[in-house]
Amino acid sequence: GAAMAAAVRDVEIDPEGTFKYILVRLQRPGGEERRDIVRGTKAAEFHNHIFEKVNPEMEKLGYECKCLGGGKIDHNSKDKKIRVFGLSTGYGKADHSVTVEILKKVYTDYEITWSDDKK
């Protein structure tokens, strides 16, 4: 229910640095309810490492996961700036504009931009 959904944060990313991220769609099997979440960390060498961690967590909560693509996030907490760019070789490029909208919900006082640049 709602409590379980609330347990899933819209965004979980590292507080600083440049790292890979993925955009993941959660859906209740056979249900209408769906939401997109952003996950990114320096700990992941490849995009699928992030998905392999998120997927079982979400399945436990009763969601089906689908990776909508990936990219990179440059998080500068000092200047309160986030840049979304790049792509995932395995999953393709996420819709960075969607990612930015999700990030804005959490980092309300940040300047958040995106581009299709590789670097």
Identify the CATH number of the domain in which residue 84 sits.
3.50.20.20
Domain for residue 5, yes or no? no
* Helix/strand/coil for 41: strand
How many domains does the chain contain in total? Answer: 1
Residue 48 is predicted with a pLDDT of 97
Query: Do residues 40 and 21 touch, judged by C-beta distance below 8 A?
Result: yes
List residues forming the annotated binding site: 20
% of the chain at pLDDT higher than 90 = 84
Rounded to two decimals, the pTM is 0.93
Residue 6 lies in a domain: no
Assigned domain for 27 exists: yes
Predicted confidence at residue 6, as pLDDT, reads: 66
Known binding residues for substrate are 20
Is 4 within a domain? no
Q: Is residue 39 one of the residues assigned to a domain?
A: yes
Rounded mean pLDDT of the chain? 94
47 is catalytic: yes
The whole-number pLDDT of residue 29 equals 87
What's the average model confidence in pLDDT over 51-73?
A: 96
